[in-house]
Structure 1
Amino acid sequence: MSELSAQRDTDRADNRPRRFIPIASAASVGLASTRRQQRQRVALQMGFFILFVLAPVFDIFRYDLDADHAWLLGMEWRLGLDDFLAGKASALEAAGNIMLRLFVPLFIGAGVLLGVAWKWGRLYCGWLCPHFSVVETINRLMTRASGKPSVWERSTSPPWQADGSRLKVDARWWAVVLPAAVTFAFLWAVVLLTYLLPPAEVYSNLFHGELTRNQFIFITAVTVVLSLEFLFARHLFCRFVCAVGLFQSLAWMSNRNAMVVGFKRERASDCSSCLPERQSACDAVCPMRLRPRTIKRHMFTCTQCAQCVDACAETQRDNPEGPLLTWVSGEAARQNEAGFRTVRER
């Protein structure tokens, strides 16, 4: 009996229902990843904007016109020309100091920026730049006010958002758009002035209403110019005026293996079900007003913000094959561009 009982126990053990751990679909994994990436990007933008505002206050970096020298990481940063002006150093020594203390740091900083852009694109623009964070904020507010992220858009954006909800357009949001643009412009004007004059003096004069004539003119002029730029030309500035962005784009374009937004063209039919009325979520969310499903040279000013990738993952969240837009690099980036050429030849 004992042997028979043991055999029954063994059979029960072998035939008992087994618990399976479900494997996450490609769509759910992709959506979670893009959402986490966007949270990280927003956190970095906020952190860098705070650094941009506070850097002069803590002498992390600024140039003091009154003292006629710069500050770097809390220390005075001079070009070493005092001895030359006093006749105690030669012109050759002065030139060496300028090269070592001015041009070498500039070349190193530019090299790092362009090196990152060569491999990954305009990451500084999309992930750190304080101007681009304002661009995105005004975009969202203006879309709520008019249905368009820019006054220059010919048609309104799709009324549907990537998560399937409908965007409610209300003209009363203009009462937020205009003050927001002026407020950002005023903040920028004050902060830029603290990069040139002692921050304690600027903020004290501003708080007590005792700005000097030149300080008042500077803040007023910069506020007016930036208000107009934030309202009417913020995308145009990023695309055609900003030298930092331009050189990053040139470095990125020179590398055929650089990271790009890849499009799975063999599944292009899935785009027809992206949003109701056959509209594209990725086109609607791009802050630079680009078309993500195109060749690299048409994405020259892409800031790698990944909002198009996130929108695609959101709309394809129920598709077991996952999103159509993904980051690719190396040989995959080359094949992505080659695929576009093949389609064009056909």
Structure 2
Amino acid sequence: MPKSDPLQSESAKRPSAEQFIPVKNLSTGDKPTQKSSGQIHFREQKGYFQRLRTTMNSLLILLFFTLPFISFDGRQAILLDVQQQQFFFFNLTLWPQDFTLLAWVFIAAAFGLFFITVFWGRVWCGYLCPQTAWTFMFVWLENRIEGNSNKRKLLDKAPWSANKLGKRTLKHSLWGLAALITGCGFISYFIPARELYLEIFTGNAGFWSTCWVWFFAICTYLNAGWMREQMCLHCCPYARFQAVMFDANTKTVTYDVARGETRGPRKRKQETQLGDCVDCNLCVEVCPTGIDIRQGLQYECINCGACVDACNETMQKFDYQQNLISYVSENELKGIAHSNWRSPRFLGYGTAVVIMLIVIAIDLSNRSEIQLNVIRDRQSLYRETADNRVENTYQLKIRNKTQQTKQYQLAVNSEMPFSLIAAPVITLAAGEQADYPVTVLADKDAIPAGRKIIEFSVTDISEPRQSVSQETGFFSP
């Protein structure tokens, strides 16, 4: 039998042209986004929303640096004193056992953020996020030194020269100084600000103070100077889960496709069948995360409104209607009447915020300004005296949690005749804790044998409603 040709057999196994899945090369015709070129050099933009963003970012930065310098009652008004385990907030002092109150505050703030997101999307990222504020501040310094976005791109590609080296050295020096001041600003909430700044810039700061300042300075330099949009795109969890809070009534930065397409260049006042989008690509060039908003809603968008201002500027030049790109909801684009007030998300997040505020108010009203711990003498259960009495010894740990010197009335409460052998009044300075030994005495014949429950109470003499108590045991033979 003739041998079959392996080449012919293999050829027979191959599918015919009709059996191949057709491949078509699709080209969108869109201009590349900034992300395709690596580092994003977005151009500065002026306009209503950029003025609003700049104002809010500036206020945020100003508050961040000035709050630690506010004094109250002769000390820093806001100070988290880790060493003394006290958190001062004007006339309020929080101790470690009070930090549940801070937890409620953070939870309320989170639900407040979710509540705002239902209405305005990711506006926190665009207008109040520290990452955005410091990034724009660093970019502003970069623009003053290296020029606009086009000049910065050319400088990146240019070979190293004395001019390039000088500009880069000046830029990174100013970035480093801004980062160092930011590190001091953050640590000044933990160490008195007036001392910290002076010690850091004179080289007299302690080892750990210096380490923490430089740690946050390096983080600021890397985040705001180098990573920038990468923090928003890849590190920030809010960017990933924000979409679950959106609905068809949420206002986000949106491109009106029906009005803008088909896009294309044209001359001013030229009659055309194209849409209003002139394909100037400014919305991409001003975007700090390098996206093209015309491609639809994207998680990278931080709702800063730069593309809105850029597009409105172009629309004004061509005498077209404003807000081709605007803060608008999906239902508004479709012409559907809507109301956020009845949406499940509004009711859910709004209810959660109200509940958290009520919990905070209750926690604050029930917060005691006195701390009391009762510790029994571990050496013996009881002692019998020569005059037929029984005594038990205790150690009272009493803390004054206020910022004023206080006098406290001590008492032992029981239905049986117990006597307190100790000075009934104790004076404590602001924040002071005293270990106060006391003895409780009773006639052996007046009390039953075994363990009895007694209660120690400590009451603020000047403010009797501030009182704490704790039960313990009294032993007798």
The TM-score range, normalised by the shorter chain, is 0.5 to 0.7
Kept in 1: contact 2:131–2:224 (CA 8 A): no
Kept in 1: contact 2:49–2:304 (CA 8 A): no
Equivalence for 2:57? 45
Aligned counterpart for 1:246 among listed residues 239, 251, 269: 239
Amino acid aligned to 2:265: S
Matched, 1:206 2:207: no
Equivalence for 2:316? 317
> Are the structure 2 counterparts of residues 327 and 273 from structure 1 closer, same or farther at C-alpha, using a change threshold of 3 Å?
farther
- Residues 58-91 of structure 1 deviation map (CA, whole Å, 9 limit, x = unaligned): 3565422122122334532234x3xxxxxxxxxx
CA distance in 2, matches of 1:228, 1:217: 17
> Are the structure 2 counterparts of residues 286 and 112 from structure 1 closer, same or farther at C-alpha, using a change threshold of 3 Å?
same
Amino acid aligned to 1:72: F
Amino acid aligned to 2:260: R
- Residues 265-316 of structure 1 deviation map (CA, whole Å, 9 limit, x = unaligned): 23335553599x96400000011222111221xx213222101000011112
CA distance in 2, matches of 1:251, 1:189: 34
Kept in 1: contact 2:77–2:89 (CA 8 A): yes
Kept in 1: contact 2:255–2:296 (CA 8 A): no
CA distance in 1, matches of 2:108, 2:89: 15
CA distance in 2, matches of 1:137, 1:251: 31
Shift of 1:134: 2.1
Aligned counterpart for 1:180 among listed residues 160, 174, 177: 174
- Residues 85-108 of structure 1 deviation map (CA, whole Å, 9 limit, x = unaligned): xxxxxxxxxxxx554x13222211
Equivalence for 1:122? 122
Amino acid aligned to 2:250: A
Kept in 2: contact 1:141–1:177 (CA 8 A): yes
Amino acid aligned to 1:304: N
> Are the structure 2 counterparts of residues 133 and 98 from structure 1 closer, same or farther at C-alpha, using a change threshold of 3 Å?
closer
Equivalence for 2:273? none
Q: Which has the larger share of strand? A: 2
Shift of 1:147: 6.5
Kept in 2: contact 1:118–1:248 (CA 8 A): no
Amino acid aligned to 1:249: Q
Higher-Rg structure is 2
SS at 2:47 equivalent: helix
Equivalence for 2:303? 304
Aligned counterpart for 2:256 among listed residues 235, 254, 264: 264
After TM superposition, list the pairs within 5 Å mapping 1:143-222 onto structure 2.
145=146, 171=164, 173-222=167-216
Aligned counterpart for 2:81 among listed residues 60, 64, 84: 64
**Percent identity over the alignment?**
18
Q: Which has the higher contact order (CA 8 A, sep 6+)?
A: 1
Corresponding residue pairs, total: 266
SS at 1:326 equivalent: strand
What is the RMSD computed on CA atoms of the aligned residues?
Answer: 3.5
> Are the structure 2 counterparts of residues 102 and 264 from structure 1 closer, same or farther at C-alpha, using a change threshold of 3 Å?
closer
CA distance in 1, matches of 2:333, 2:307: 17
Q: Which has the larger share of helix? A: 1
Kept in 2: contact 1:256–1:334 (CA 8 A): no
CA distance in 1, matches of 2:267, 2:126: 24
Structure 1: gaps spanning 5 or more residues: 1-33, 82-96, 158-169, 337-346
Amino acid aligned to 1:327: Y
Kept in 2: contact 1:262–1:333 (CA 8 A): no
